[in-house]
Chains A and B, each alone.
Chain A
Amino acid sequence: MTAEFAGNQVVIEALYLIASVLFILSLKWMSSPTSARHGIWAGEAGMLLAICGTLLHHGIIDYRLIAIALVLGTIIGIPLGRVAMTAVPQRTALSHAFGALCVTLVGSAEFYLRTPDISRFMMSVLSIEVILGGLTFTGSLMAAGKLQEILPQRPLTYKGQNLVNFLLLAVALGIAVFLVMHPGARNLFPFMILIALAFGVLLIIPIGGADMPTVISLLNAYAGLSAAAMGFVLDSKLLIIAGALDGSSGLILSIIMSKAMNRSFTNVLFGAFGQVQTSAAAGQEERAVRSATAEEAAAILSAANKVIVVPGYGMAVAQAQHKVRELYDGLTKRGVDVRFAIHPVAGRMPGHMNVLLAEADIPYDRLVEMDEINGDFPATDVALVIGANDVTNPAARSDTTSPIYGMPILDVDKAHTVMVIKRSMNPGFAGIDNPLYYLDNTLMLFGDAKAFVGSIVRELSGGHG
């Protein structure tokens, strides 16, 4: 019996080891689009081996319930894997929520199974697991709600907001410390969870849509760290490794995103853009802008040699990516060199614009990162801005009083001609006025992004045939 048990254990650990290696390879292969799909296969193989290994676990007596849960999870998972590409940010937030839910539930179950005979270290890690998991669960649900526009995207702020949040977190941590000292006080555990859940909601309420790329990345890091904590509790090396990989991925993305906005994490989480918004919007002044029609825009574009398109969240909202593809085709056919400048925080999550443009069949070697393309704007005939605002605002370079001063931007104003497709002169999401629109070399193209790009495409093909 013991020999069989030990033999099983060796097989399980071996499978977990192979799975860990496959997970690391999976991420390694994500380094380039050509090898990335191998990465998925490695990840899937690792997952399959790990689950098979777990089913060999000697203590498992009930396979029926496991099977039902696996089937139900698959039934929910398939539609979540088939959502439209425009819904990917909210789907991602939702999956952070599911991951955190799993961790929190397992942590809670372990608490009731193990207490009161639990070491202080174990109780500390378990507290970290469920607090992080709980706040990530509700926080991600809130983020998903905001991205799906079930909840208002505008930041909701009130006086003393940060104080309330800090106090809540302090109470949750206080309960955690008390439980570490007195693990028998099981009645306190639900309160710790409830406070973590409430904290997650309150943490995301003041965060606006423009900060979502950073917030989603941070929630990703939290989900990973809570899973790693769960690995400590269950003494599962595989889980520690997967959690550490996910946590470092989320952390790296958060760092990239916050650098691209020139803001610290604390500033993103606690320095709501809300106050900025009202003051900047009030100071709007009447200045002259030049506007153009689709016909004029088409003429300028077809006379150009080099065009750089700058997509932003507005392109995603208007679902204009397929019309943009037609524009790309039309111009390329005329020998115009068309590239796309991608700002790291354009859109609502890291890499959002790349996925939308790839969906519209625009080749990925035409999508260029900010640092690589910024030097090319002075030699560019036309910079066409579609639904992007703050990431093109020259005030970030020069105006020390601007709320976005210091944020790295795409230097579109250095192109010979700048064309901006925009619904109206209303300030953008963050409510910051954009001096780009008043420059002599800027033409405003007023209208819905999808419709306007469509009419440029019609003008181009009309002029051609």
Chain B
Amino acid sequence: MSSSSNLIDALFIFVLAGFIGFEVIRRVSPLLHTPLMSLTNALDAIAVVGAIVLVGEHKSSLSAALGFIAVIAATSNIVGGFLITDRMLRMFKSSRPAPKP
């Protein structure tokens, strides 16, 4: 595959994903804007995949070292982000009685 068609593919994906993001996130209740931000933050830490490859391939000491720190930073966002989002969402209760499980 030529790199220019790769680029076009990537642009398509970026624009379409951005569009989906706008449509989906517009519908998020303002009630949940704080957990929304911590959730997107955790999802954004998917950047960890790039860092993992850097560490694993070990092409140079520099790239492995930078990747190592990057994996730590991203993993802490994944773990912390999901944890706190879950804690926040568990606090949101309705005054209507919840259906018994």
**Which A residues are within 8 Å of any B CB, using their own CB?**
19, 23-24, 26-28, 30-34, 36-37, 39-40, 43-44, 46-47, 50-51, 53-55, 57, 59-63, 65-66, 68-70, 72-74, 76-83, 85, 88, 91-92, 95-96, 98-99, 101-103, 105-106, 108-110, 112-113, 119, 121, 216-217, 220, 223-224, 227-228, 230-232, 234-250, 252-253, 256, 342, 344, 349-352, 354-355, 358-359, 361, 363-367, 369
Are A243 and B44 closer than 8 Å at their CB atoms? yes
A-B contact pairs, 17 of them (CB 8 A): A28-B27, A40-B89, A62-B56, A69-B68, A73-B74, A91-B84, A98-B45, A105-B66, A109-B66, A230-B47, A237-B10, A242-B43, A245-B44, A256-B30, A344-B30, A351-B30, A354-B30
Q: Main secondary structure on chain A at its contact with chain B?
A: helix
Contacts of B31 on A, CB cut-off 8 Å?
33, 351, 354, 364, 367
12 further A-B pairs in the complex, CB-CB below 8 A; given A53-B49, A65-B58: A19-B46, A23-B43, A26-B39, A27-B25, A40-B39, A102-B74, A106-B66, A110-B54, A228-B14, A242-B43, A252-B25, A363-B95
Q: Which residues between 70 and 99 of chain B lie within 8 Å of chain A, taking CB atoms? A: 70-96
Are B43 and A102 closer than 8 Å at their CB atoms? no
Q: For the complex, what is the distance from the CA of A163 to the CA of B90, rounded to whole Å?
A: 47
Are B21 and A244 closer than 8 Å at their CB atoms? yes
Are A73 and B95 closer than 8 Å at their CB atoms? no
0/1 string, B27-48, CB within 8 A of A gives 1: 1111111111111111111111
Q: For the complex, what is the distance from the CA of A182 to the CA of B78, rounded to whole Å?
A: 37
0/1 string, B1-32, CB within 8 A of A gives 1: 00100110110011101101110111111111
CB A233 to nearest CB in B, in angstroms, measures: 8
Q: For the complex, what is the distance from the CA of A289 to the CA of B7, rounded to whole Å?
A: 65
CB B16 to nearest CB in A, in angstroms, measures: 8
Q: Point out the residue from B45, B52, B63, B69 that lies within 8 Å of A55, measured CB to CB.
A: B52
Are B76 and A76 closer than 8 Å at their CB atoms? yes
**A351 and B22 in contact, given A26-B43, A60-B56, A242-B44 (Cβ under 8 angstroms):** no
Interface pairs A-B: 3 shortest CB-CB = A73-B75, A81-B83, A77-B79
**A69 and B75 in contact, given A241-B13, A245-B43 (Cβ under 8 angstroms):** yes
Query: Which residue on A lies nearest to B56, using beta carbons?
Result: A60
Contacts of A69 on B, CB cut-off 8 Å?
51, 55, 67-68, 71-72, 75
Are B72 and A27 closer than 8 Å at their CB atoms? no
Are A30 and B35 closer than 8 Å at their CB atoms? yes
**A342 and B30 in contact, given A59-B57, A106-B70, A349-B37 (Cβ under 8 angstroms):** yes
Are B70 and A62 closer than 8 Å at their CB atoms? no
Contacts of A247 on B, CB cut-off 8 Å?
18, 21
Q: Point out the residue from A53, A235, A364 that lies within 8 Å of B92, measured CB to CB.
A: A364
Query: Which residue on A lies nearest to B74, using beta carbons?
Result: A102
Are A355 and B35 closer than 8 Å at their CB atoms? yes
Contacts of A249 on B, CB cut-off 8 Å?
21, 25, 36-37, 40
Contacts of B85 on A, CB cut-off 8 Å?
40
Are A227 and B44 closer than 8 Å at their CB atoms? yes
Are B80 and A81 closer than 8 Å at their CB atoms? yes
Contacts of B77 on A, CB cut-off 8 Å?
77, 95, 98-99, 102
CB B91 to nearest CB in A, in angstroms, measures: 4
Q: For the complex, what is the distance from the CA of A92 to the CA of B72, rounded to whole Å?
A: 17
CB B88 to nearest CB in A, in angstroms, measures: 6
Contacts of A232 on B, CB cut-off 8 Å?
7, 10, 14
Contacts of B74 on A, CB cut-off 8 Å?
73, 98-99, 102
Q: For the complex, what is the distance from the CA of A245 to the CA of B15, rounded to whole Å?
A: 10
Are A109 and B67 closer than 8 Å at their CB atoms? yes
CB B77 to nearest CB in A, in angstroms, measures: 5
Are A50 and B88 closer than 8 Å at their CB atoms? no
Are A65 and B83 closer than 8 Å at their CB atoms? no
Q: Point out the residue from A102, A230, A256, A355 that lies within 8 Å of B88, measured CB to CB.
A: A355
Are B32 and A354 closer than 8 Å at their CB atoms? yes
Contacts of B36 on A, CB cut-off 8 Å?
27, 30, 249, 253, 350-351
CB A179 to nearest CB in B, in angstroms, measures: 18
Are B21 and A230 closer than 8 Å at their CB atoms? no
Are B39 and A27 closer than 8 Å at their CB atoms? yes
Q: Point out the residue from B17, B54, B76, B86 that lies within 8 Å of A244, measured CB to CB.
A: B17
Contacts of A361 on B, CB cut-off 8 Å?
91, 93
Q: For the complex, what is the distance from the CA of A359 to the CA of B91, rounded to whole Å?
A: 5
Are B80 and A95 closer than 8 Å at their CB atoms? yes
Assess whether B59 is interfacial by the CB under 8 Å rule: yes
Instruction: Report which residue of A23, A247, A355 has the largest number of chain B beta carbons within 10 angstroms of its beta carbon.
Output: A355
Contacts of B29 on A, CB cut-off 8 Å?
31-33
**A28 and B55 in contact, given A77-B75, A246-B44 (Cβ under 8 angstroms):** no
Instruction: Report which residue of B21, B79, B90 has the largest number of chain A beta carbons within 10 angstroms of its beta carbon.
Output: B21
